[in-house]
Structure 1
Amino acid sequence: MQAQDIERVLFTEEALRTRVAELAAQIDRDYAGREPMFISVLRGSFIFMADLVRAVTLPCKLDFMAVSSYGSGTTSSGQVKITKDLSENIEGRDIVVVEDILDSGNTLAYLLQILQARRPASIRLCTLLDKPSRRVKPVQADYVGFPVEDLFVVGYGLDYAERYRNLPYIGVLKPQVYEPAASGDA
């Protein structure tokens, strides 16, 4: 039923599976002999994170944070709040922050600053999608699944109004799905 709202598939299940395996292999090489802690930025990255850590062969730990700067809209509000903090102490740990999409950079700049203050040994950022054309903060990912144009994408954890996360691919949402809501908010 949700598929009817998709204009086109941008990244297929197979393309996602292949790229996640490549990222995991790169992380395995970079962290050889160490035990990184992966921090999923909820909710959008949970599917990507699950697939990524299953493909990583190193011993690793997991934790989760929830931060928000979007609410139910389609663009970042610029105001970030932590809605779920980490359960583990990260001091002295090698951290890999796992995000679904690096867009404006507002949320990740704030989050990385907070995590850095907790004195980890290292922090790297792994994002499934990178939209550099929308960047307003100087945030760069260490691991990028796919660069993406300025399109409204959903699926594989990414949502619009908490819908479409369960699509097994990443697709471009038809504008008529989100434009009426956006114009109604004005």
Structure 2
Amino acid sequence: MDAKDMGADLEKVLLTEEQISTRLSEMAAQIDADYAGRKLLLVGVLRGAVMVMADLARKLHSPLEMDWMAVSSYGSGTRSSGVVRILKDLDSDLDGRHVLIVEDIIDSGLTLSWLLANLRSRGPASVEIATLLRKPEAAKVEVDVRYVGFDIPPEFVVGYGLDYAEDYRHLPFVGTLAPHVYGG
């Protein structure tokens, strides 16, 4: 699916497939340099990070393993309950490992801050974060993110793993939806 297939549902393309690919290649080169001689454990945060993690992993030359985690900080609605729940935990032992959390987007940073503390408590040699997108204006807590693809404005975005009502994740670009789609 590309932008023209979306018709009136797409307001604008924020980042093209080419821009994303180029930036992930640059991030991978930096990660390879930073972790030279060490094996990485990439930890993807489901479901949004699937596209980022797959493409980033293919661009890396470092030896690596991948694992997945799913966490939720939402109750039944769209407001955070303030409680983070692990829906799917890691299968890997983190003791002595170099862990790189891979995210699709960082908004408030609240859930990621909790996840970072949780993983650091498991005895890894290091824990860092790589994200494709970050919304600096939306941050509620300071989270040190080592690798950032793009800083974006506080708009609701879809594509490249990001969804609206479980749709649009498969788009090869990041864009904004027209207000009629979500009633905005």
CA distance in 1, matches of 2:150, 2:49: 14
CA distance in 2, matches of 1:136, 1:37: 28
SS at match of 1:80: strand
Equivalence for 2:33: 29
CA positional deviation for 1:140: 2.3
CA distance in 1, matches of 2:79, 2:149: 21
Encode CA deviations 1:107-165: one digit per residue, 9 max, x unaligned.
10111111011010000000110101111111121000000000000000001111100
CA distance in 2, matches of 1:163, 1:71: 20
Q: 1:136 aligns with which of 116, 137, 140?
A: 140
CA positional deviation for 1:75: 5.8
Please, what TM-score do these two structures have when normalized by structure 1? 0.91
CA positional deviation for 1:56: 0.1
Task: Kindly indicate which of the two structures has a greater share of residues assigned to strand.
Answer: 2
Equivalence for 1:167: 171
Equivalence for 1:184: none
CA distance in 2, matches of 1:111, 1:2: 35
* Two-structure CA RMSD over aligned residues (Å): 1.7
SS at match of 1:99: strand
CA distance in 2, matches of 1:38, 1:171: 26
Please, what TM-score do these two structures have when normalized by structure 2? 0.92
Matched residues, number: 180
CA contact (8 A) 1:72 1:161 kept: no
Amino acid at match of 1:138: E
SS at match of 2:183: helix
Amino acid at match of 2:32: D
Amino acid at match of 1:48: V
Question: What percentage of residue pairs aligned between the two structures are identical?
Answer: 54
Structure 1 spans left out of the alignment, 5+ residues: 181-186
Equivalence for 1:183: none
CA distance in 1, matches of 2:79, 2:17: 26
Segments of 4+ moved more than 3 angstroms: 1-4, 70-79
Amino acid at match of 2:132: L
Equivalence for 1:93: 97
